[in-house]
Chains A and B, each alone.
Chain A
Amino acid sequence: MIRKPVEIRIPGRIGKQLKEEVLRRGGHEHVVFALASSAETADKTLILVKKILTLHEEQYVETRYHGAMWRGSSTLDIINEAIDRKLGIFIFHAHDHSGKVGLSQDDLQSAQTLLPSYQNLVPWRPHGSIVIGKEHAAGVVLMPEARSLATISRLRWLDNSIVDWDEASSVALSKTFDRMYDRQTLLIGSRGQELLNRAKIAVVGLSGGGSHIVQQAAHLGIGEIIGIDADSVEEENRHRLIGVSRFDVRLKRRKTSVMSRLVARINRDVKFTSIPYNVPAQAALDQLKRADIIVGCVDSLQARSDIQEISQRYLIPYIDIGLLIIPDQSSQSIGGNVLSLIPGMFCMWCIGFLSDRKLAEETGGRPRSYFQGTPKQAQVVSFNGLLASAAMNEVLHLVTGYRQNNDVGTIKKFDGNKGTLEDWVFNTHDSCAKCETQIAAGDPVWIKL
């Protein structure tokens, strides 16, 4: 059986705590236990870290023969929580140096003893042992039902930007790029361009906002654009859908087909994957799971709630744009938003952008099965383009880390009357029920009766 690459994802905040703990100086190495769910995509196995737990100093045992040793009893609560929540157990420690790291012979022997015992107790999830250095990680996992250990291929930190520690990040760049990127690489460097070439973004909704996103993603050289929209083009889309022609309207071409053609004309190195379905059709959800970043250009709060769940569940950054024009002679309003949501930092529910009350209002208080979509609203291509450009700046930063500040996740508010796009100061709830259940939830564990 060919094993898919295994990628470990660590959400914002948790990653910082994990690094601080394992890199803590002392008389011995420090370990961190992580509880993690898992998920299968078409091309990867994802390990999704939900929570980390540390040991108190008195729970370590003095030893001259190992980097760290701890009392078995000190892990009982950790194991019980893993059993109760059906989560895998991952042991992290650090080899505090630059360059590539690897598990020592002692680490491997320890993994070969501990991981099968964890597998006996929680057979539905992978378990593993991971070592991190300064810019590289290595480790082994024991998959459900497997007898032998597999190696991890990547550790992904979701922080101010997406930081991948893998084989490619630890070796010198060998690829040269097309001259078309010469001026772009002056800002982001060849490494940044390589990261863009490796990135996959899913764009949900391919009208005024989404078509701008697709166009700019193709110019940037994003490796794969997954375009998700079930609709065909209509005459009333022509004033804002980038790349559309009169013939597309006459032939009732799908928006995904128009976007596929647009991308091919701009950049042959970019793959466009057409998904002519709407979220949450299963075909669309399966593709969202594959993405490194999701850009949502949807009208309804219901759709945002669905995308937010996928983002949180599989630890995929989610950028949302929205435009609301209320034409009124006395008090015209042109508002919009660009939300950059990094799982583990805050979500649409934490900041009150989504709530049960707002979702109920959108459906008129009736069950969602009666919801026919949002009513037709005013749209102007120049406003769509401005918000889409701001969203693509977020994508560019998440992939390349080009910005020189440490802001993690941002919310920008657009005022079309003033022509401003400003940071929105917001409060988050201390505890968010959605984050508690959705963050790193992965694929559910189904137990046959």
Chain B
Amino acid sequence: MTTEVLAGDLEDVKQQYTSVKVATNGLLNYVRIDSVSLPKGCTPESTPVLLVLRPGQAKPEIYVKPGIKLGNVRDPRSISTVTIEGEGWLQFSYQLNWDPSQHSLVQFIEGALRRFAKNE
């Protein structure tokens, strides 16, 4: 993702969520949202979210905090805890048709979390 796309989208993210923070390390850009509501039925009801934006990569990477249970009190499937910038985050697998020229970063976050909560 280019920094121009990121700058425009971050304004939307800031409007949608409270407490949005950014960090960089070399060419990597990070966006951290302290609390994003999870789809109905998940426990806890919200989670911190981390987006990793790599240059040349079409989509951001999205991570949530470990320990989330889905609506059926099951653990999500195809997950793994990973270290990012010295912190533990939960990586999950999802398929999402998202195009930065047509969709916003907020749509990406909400779509990915809906997919995460489906448990299929």
Residues of A within 8 Å of B24, CB to CB, are 86
A310 to chain B, nearest CB (A): 6
A438 to chain B, nearest CB (A): 9
Decide: B80 and A444 in contact? CB cutoff 8 A.
Answer: no
Residues of B within 8 Å of A445, CB to CB, are 23
Decide: A368 and B80 in contact? CB cutoff 8 A.
Answer: yes
Residue picked from A279, A313, A446, most chain B C-beta under 10 Å: A446
A179 to chain B, nearest CB (A): 42
A343 to chain B, nearest CB (A): 14
Is the CB of A361 closer than 8 A to any CB of chain B?
Answer: no
A55 to chain B, nearest CB (A): 26
As a 0/1 sequence over residues 1 to 44 of chain B, the CB contacts with chain A under 8 angstroms (1 = contact) are 00000000010011000011111111010101000000000000
A211 to chain B, nearest CB (A): 24
Decide: A446 and B66 in contact? CB cutoff 8 A.
Answer: no
A443 to chain B, nearest CB (A): 6
Is the CB of A18 closer than 8 A to any CB of chain B?
Answer: no
Please report the C-alpha to C-alpha distance between residue A370 and residue B23 in the assembled complex, in whole angstroms: 28
Residues of B within 8 Å of A279, CB to CB, are 83
As a 0/1 sequence over residues 437 to 449 of chain A, the CB contacts with chain B under 8 angstroms (1 = contact) are 1000111111111
**Which of A280, A289, A437, A446 is close to B32, meaning CB atoms less than 8 Å apart?**
A446
Decide: A309 and B79 in contact? CB cutoff 8 A.
Answer: no
Is the CB of A72 closer than 8 A to any CB of chain B?
Answer: no
Residues of B within 8 Å of A26, CB to CB, are none
A residues 356-402 touching B (CB-CB < 8 Å): 367-371
Please report the C-alpha to C-alpha distance between residue A313 and residue B83 in the assembled complex, in whole angstroms: 11
**Which of A305, A371, A443 is close to B80, meaning CB atoms less than 8 Å apart?**
A371
Is the CB of B82 closer than 8 A to any CB of chain A?
Answer: yes
Decide: A281 and B66 in contact? CB cutoff 8 A.
Answer: yes
Q: Chain B contact residues: over half helix, strand or loop, or mixed?
A: strand
Is the CB of A306 closer than 8 A to any CB of chain B?
Answer: yes
A interface residues, tally (CB under 8 Å)? 32
Decide: B93 and A449 in contact? CB cutoff 8 A.
Answer: no
A residues 414-436 touching B (CB-CB < 8 Å): 436
Is the CB of B55 closer than 8 A to any CB of chain A?
Answer: no
Decide: B93 and A444 in contact? CB cutoff 8 A.
Answer: no
Q: Which one, B84-92, B96-104, B107-115, is touching chain A?
A: B84-92
Decide: A449 and B82 in contact? CB cutoff 8 A.
Answer: no
Residues of A within 8 Å of B25, CB to CB, are 437, 441, 444
Given A281-B88, A367-B93, A369-B78, residue A447 in contact with residue B83 (CB < 8 A): no
Is the CB of B72 closer than 8 A to any CB of chain A?
Answer: no
**Which of A280, A289, A446 is close to B81, meaning CB atoms less than 8 Å apart?**
A280
A233 to chain B, nearest CB (A): 23
Is the CB of A73 closer than 8 A to any CB of chain B?
Answer: no
Decide: B93 and A369 in contact? CB cutoff 8 A.
Answer: yes
Given A313-B86, A369-B91, residue A446 in contact with residue B22 (CB < 8 A): yes
Residues of A within 8 Å of B86, CB to CB, are 39, 285, 289, 309-310, 313-314, 441-444
Please report the C-alpha to C-alpha distance between residue A449 and residue B82 in the assembled complex, in whole angstroms: 25
Decide: B83 and A444 in contact? CB cutoff 8 A.
Answer: no
Residues of A within 8 Å of B32, CB to CB, are 446
A residues 257-291 touching B (CB-CB < 8 Å): 278-282, 284-285, 289
Residues of A within 8 Å of B14, CB to CB, are 449
Decide: B80 and A310 in contact? CB cutoff 8 A.
Answer: no
A46 to chain B, nearest CB (A): 12
**Top 7 A-B pairs ranked by shortest CB distance?**
A446-B21, A280-B83, A282-B88, A444-B23, A306-B83, A369-B80, A280-B88
A306-B83, A368-B82 known, 8 other contacts, Cβ within 8 Å: A39-B86, A284-B88, A285-B83, A367-B80, A367-B93, A441-B25, A447-B21, A449-B20
